[in-house]
Chain A
Amino acid sequence: MKKIWQLGFLLTMAFVLLVGCNQGDTQKSSTEKNEKTTQTTDKTATYPMTVKDALGNEVEFKEEPKKIVSLIPSNTEILFALGLDDKIVGVSDNDDYPKAATKKEKVGGMEFNVEKVLSLKPDVVFAHESSAKSTESGLQQLKDAGITVFVVKNATNFEETYDTIKQIGQITNQPQKADKIVAGMKAKVKEVQDKVANVKQRTAFVETSDVPEIYTAGKDTFMQEIFNLANIKNVADDQSGWFKIDPEQIVKRNPDTIIVMEDYVPNIVEKVKKRQGFSSVTAVKNDAVVLVNQNLTARTGPRLAEGLEEVAKAVYPEAFK
């Protein structure tokens, strides 16, 4: 029984890391082999090209990748947005967007299946900085088998997300499409910001898990960046990163809006409203407990601007009428 408990603890930690890592910064390890090519990247995708990945490795692409494997949902969403449906041969188990992604071959969850990836014979595998450390040996095995592995940077703000999209567009020979996506996102961000520019600022609390372990975002998180852009005051911004908060604190901090993201809990909005002791919270009194799709704000991909809009709408619904 104790083992289960320990396993539970480890797994929870892993989850916290998973959530946290989307915002956290991983230290760069540059132990990988260095390719000796020194070509520069170029706007009009000319092959062969060499691109520096998140771990500082110079990764060479001799020609346009025709078979692509993605190991994390945000990469997958970017690749699909770039119109590479035909070229994607494998995605992770967690990929659920767009719908077409669910029909692709699955290569495993956070720990991907090396044999499965090898069997798909991809030209490039898009890994991610947030899980590069935990899957280091697996990635090395892929490299040893001669497969090109590109570790995508863990974007910590919108600008870095734009860069990531452009970079993946470059590698896959879709630079124009990438520019278009980024332009669209920027327009959306601008639109949201205009709408909330003159509102009276409200406070919000965001949670990604239900009682008894309520996790929320403090400062130095992507969530905080979204709050900043949407002109929202985060009631938990005195702490750093994602953390488990004492429920007393939520009542005390009395947010105007509670944003819940744990859509896997049935009837979560009603549950939050009925929580013991929450009746005095402004958000509960004003019926401002709102469910927002976590994938929109946690995945640093093309839907991020949508995530910003959803959060802003949750807090300032009248501005979006």
Chain B
Amino acid sequence: MPGLPLLLAQAFNGLALGSLLALSASGLTITLGTLGVLNFAHGALFMLGAYAVFVVLGHTDSLLLAVVLGGGFMILVGLVFERVVIRLYYDRPAEDQILVTFGLGILIVEGVRFIFGGLSQRVPLPSWGQGIVSLGFMIYPKYRLEVIGIVAIALFALYVVLYRTRIGLVVRAGIEDTMMVNMLGINVRRTFMLVFAMGVLAAGFAGMVYAPLVSVDPDMGGPFLAESFVVVVIGGLGSFPGAVAGGLIAGEIISLTSAFNPDYSYVMLYAVMALLLVVQPRGLFGPEGRA
């Protein structure tokens, strides 16, 4: 039975990991709900964000600058992808969309591998993230705590966009009934580009924040993709609250299980998903009926 300090530390780790998953899954689920596209390149885009930060930090010390530039880059990638490829697929069956985004994912991963090589690289912790912090009842790495804060802000920003802006209104309505939004005079297709870019930015941003915690390598996106899918299944397709709740739950499952037995931490996550599928297939906040 692991001791309380370990459990507490893992609980915080779970928050850090969970909030990243929540952010990433939010992007995925919004894209899925609005555009109906399941982005199989999501993991690759997460990795791309991490590498964007790695590149910028090779020239400057400011993580902030790296994130801003990286964010701009991710938005650009999202806009280009939507305009050039994804747009062709809105009227095609779901399987085709999965296949083409899967293919795009391969292109991204292999492109990065060609440019940077396959060995993992370290991304340095920012100066304000180094060291540890005393929380009274325990000490904890500073950056991990900051990650929770940063992602919370990002999620809050996403929430504000979704629930307090016009485009968010259009997105939320569009997830429910795209044709009706159309009939109310709004060019929904134009919105799709922005929504897709939002999803890409969410994935990339998660990667950027995550990068200093681990070493980056071209294949880091694969497991992340699978975990994001699990979060969406748990939270429910197309649901932003579901993605957040699901992400936090997933993060805690992984981290807390690892306090007991690290070998089973990821297996436990998938077991929970399996259980949910039997009991409540639509997830916590998902729509009725089979998708």
A and B bind: no
B interface vs A, CB < 8 Å?
none
